[in-house]
A and B are shown apart, each in its own frame.
Chain A
Amino acid sequence: MENGFSSPRSESFPAGLRVLVVDDDPTWLKILEKMLKKCAYDVTTCHLAREALNLLRERKDGYDIVISDVNMPDMDGFKLLEHVGLEMDLPVIMMSVDGETSKVMKGVQHGACDYLLKPIRMKELRNIWQHVFRKKIHEIRDIEHENIDIIQMSRNGSDLSDDGHMYCGEDFNSKKRKDFDKNDDKDFSDHSTKKHRVVWSVDLHQKFVKAVNQIGFDKVGPKKILDLMNVPWLTRENVASHLQKYRLYLSRLQKENDLKASFGGIKHSDFPPKDPAASFGHQSSINLNQNDVANGYQFCGSNFVAQDAETKNNEGDLKIVSEIKRTLTADVSDPQKMRSSQSFSHSFASLETEASYPAFDSTNPPEFSWSENPETQIKKEHKPHLQLEDGYSQLPPHGQQHQIPINQLQSDPAVTSVLSLTGRDMSGSIEIKPLFNECKSKNVSHVSPTESAIDTFPVQTKSQLINHQSFEPISTVISSMKPQGFNLSITDLESCQRNLTSASDPNFAPINEDLTVWLQGDYYRMNFGQSIDFIDYDDPGFLAEVPFYLYDPLTSDFQCPIDSTTECPIVDQGLFIA
């Protein structure tokens, strides 16, 4: 995957690797610092575990790798190791003067990627970059893997002609893996011929997106795209792999959007930026139904790290975007059911945290070109809240390119609420953004077009509103809300359902205090093509529609009268559970 690796430092990699060293022994700290500097690494030292964690949290993507001693006065090195792994997902190397097997074993169990014995030689430090590199590769592979699964899923019923053979399960996966090292944009089906990497420039990607939109996201296939793009040197395989990434990206984006809306934005400026990151990491731990998605998350996380490095690299951005899109698309196979929404939400969630969901414009015409993937241009009105964490700032604000038509509303101002749960233990705030899709229009009495498409309930209960546990089941996206729109909602199916049905009930109890439900304002905007101003939370109609995907425990408060007239097949089917 090029995105992860094509960081600005890549040319001189591993020089400039950002290392955080934690050791309570001042002598060792000094020595290690000197040794690492000699390796041309960028070193930061601290002698307390707490200090280290603070540093790491402050700058989520400020470091590439952490080296820590096992015995420290304020916190056990293994504990630190766990925290770092969970929250930041960075490679951690343990050190100790004690080389007992049991200790080493413990280190490995807690996730250390290496265990060094003191006295440490410089040559041992020289090669620590391999852990960073390896992690990135694995993450990418995971994403790819996930994508493949997703694609497979989505393709079950669809046309397999072109793409089918490319994504033939194991085969593909294994090929992918084999090929992985060779080149990124590869040619899945044929790895006998050496293909050189295709660099997806902004222009090229734009062509791609245009073609995809033209064809209609749900009907898209590499061959068709290739034909439309009319780029002679591009092969179908290149397009196929790019499509995959694009889908992944989109799905991530959705999630992010949700997340973002929930915390960043609309009213949530206080949501600490790191949260998303944290949540992100955390999210990965959340078990989303879709493993894919989970993977995606991870990927997202790491992606972000990588992204970070990439700074304003359009291309890099694109990559991420494409990753996300890929996941997205993959997820949704059936336009009617927004199964994808789920993955979407997942990815969004991850995205959200990380990337600044830049403005996707929501110029998307009402018709939804993308049933599955929200390829809407999300009009970013809320730029401000899109500021994603540092890591993701790279994410292309050129949302234009990746327009994700989130919901295709068919001229209904559908509110897509994306419920994304950000499980951030750490910050303890979980935001769930319900993504309400058009579905709402169905059930809901109606959201008047003038209403902001996105109703975001800024319920922010920053504290864990949603427990992760409950989150799980909810992870489905309520895609089915609206046949076309994809609702990304990671929420409980039931709630979804309820929400939908209750949409028509103006008394729908809005947001639970406990639940921070952020309806994605952004999203909605997209749907409409009109400029939606986000959030009209107060709009009763909206409220009604807002499906609170509250996790069960949370939803106790609200009554969503389940209306049997719910037309939107909500989550039941929409459960995009991988």
Chain B
Amino acid sequence: MDVVVQLQRQLTDHTASLFHEGFLNEQFNQLQQLQDESNPDFVVEVVSLFFEDSERLLNELAKALEQQAVDYKKVDAHVHQLKGSSSSIGAQRVQAVCIPFRNFCEEQNIEGCLKCLQQVKHEYSLVKNKLETLFKLEQQLIAAGGSFPTL
């Protein structure tokens, strides 16, 4: 079962790096612990919800910041939501960008806001890729007959 062992190693390494590089935090572990027989795909489901919600929020943010007269309250509300959402799965870096983003909103600093938007988009796509890789590895592992340990 070399393949299995290999996959397992890959998975472990990948996951470790996610944590190590701060893409994910303890909260993600919590999610993994919540997964059980009654909900074998719990983590994937939750993360999918996160992806959907975040993409929606990012779109809204882009729209709101494109307006002639920017409604900062609205922008702030969206950022707040994004912050909450990212905290749910432990997407630490995304969450971290939301803090200065909110400050800029308060200051009504359009440039600052736009910059943060870019940053948050970037972080989001990074974590999204990493998570997708993670899930793929897991699937491969299962397909190969192994099981993945929860961290």
Give the B-binding residues of A (Cβ under 8 A).
24-28, 30-31, 34-35, 38, 69, 71, 96-98, 118-119, 121-122
Contacts and interface: CB of A to CB of B under 8 A. Distances in A.
B42 A25 contact: no
B84 A97 contact: yes
20 contacts: A25-B85, A26-B49, A26-B52, A27-B88, A27-B89, A28-B84, A28-B88, A31-B34, A31-B46, A34-B39, A34-B42, A35-B34, A69-B84, A71-B84, A97-B87, A98-B83, A119-B88, A119-B90, A121-B30, A122-B34
Contacts of B83: 97-98
Interface hub of A24, A27, A31, A34 (most chain B Cβ within 10 A): A27
A119 B87 contact: yes
A47 to B, nearest CB: 11
Contacts of A38: 34
Contact of A25 (B27, B88, B90): B88
Contacts of A98: 80, 83
B80 A97 contact: yes
A119 B46 contact: no
Contacts of B84: 25, 28, 69, 71, 96-97, 118
Contact of B85 (A27, A34, A121, A122): A27
B50 interface: yes
Given A31-B46, A122-B30, A71 B90 contact: no
Given A35-B34, A97-B84, A98-B80, A30 B90 contact: no
Nearest to B90: A119
Interface in B56-110: 77, 80-81, 83-85, 87-90
A169 to B, nearest CB: 51
Given A31-B34, A122-B33, 20 more contacts: A24-B81, A25-B53, A25-B84, A28-B84, A28-B85, A30-B45, A34-B39, A34-B42, A35-B34, A38-B34, A69-B84, A71-B77, A71-B84, A97-B83, A97-B84, A97-B87, A98-B80, A118-B84, A119-B87, A119-B88
Interface of B: 27, 30-31, 33-34, 39, 42, 45-46, 49-50, 52-53, 77, 80-81, 83-85, 87-90
A20 B87 CA distance: 21
Contacts of B46: 27, 30-31
A121 B53 CA distance: 21
Nearest to B48: A27
B25 to A, nearest CB: 8
Would you list the 8 A-B pairs with minimal beta carbon distance, nearest first?
A97-B84, A27-B88, A119-B27, A27-B49, A119-B87, A27-B50, A28-B88, A34-B34
A118 B88 contact: yes
A97 B30 CA distance: 17
Nearest to A23: B84
A30 B34 CA distance: 11
A466 to B, nearest CB: 41
Given A26-B53, A97-B87, A119-B90, A71 B30 contact: no
A45 B89 CA distance: 19
Nearest to A95: B84
Contacts of B42: 34
Contacts of B33: 122
Contacts of A28: 84-85, 88
Contacts of B49: 26-27, 30
Interface hub of A34, A38, A69 (most chain B Cβ within 10 A): A34
Nearest to B52: A26
Contacts of B50: 27
A34 to B, nearest CB: 5
Nearest to B42: A34
Nearest to B83: A97
A31 B88 contact: yes
A403 to B, nearest CB: 52
A30 B44 CA distance: 12
Contacts of B88: 25, 27-28, 31, 118-119
Nearest to A117: B87
Given A26-B53, A30-B46, A31-B34, A118 B87 contact: yes
Contacts of B89: 27
A96 B80 CA distance: 10
A31 B28 CA distance: 11
A27 B31 CA distance: 11
Nearest to B34: A34
A165 to B, nearest CB: 56
Contacts of B34: 31, 34-35, 38, 122
Contacts of A26: 49, 52-53
A10 B77 CA distance: 42
A40 to B, nearest CB: 13
Contacts of B27: 119
Contacts of B30: 119, 121-122
A573 B81 CA distance: 60
B32 to A, nearest CB: 12
A69 B88 CA distance: 13
Given A25-B53, A25-B85, A119-B90, A31 B31 contact: yes
Given A34-B42, A38-B34, A119-B88, A27 B53 contact: yes
B81 A25 contact: yes
A121 B28 CA distance: 11
Nearest to B54: A27
B83 to A, nearest CB: 5
Nearest to B25: A119
A493 to B, nearest CB: 51
Nearest to A24: B81
Nearest to A38: B34
Nearest to A29: B49
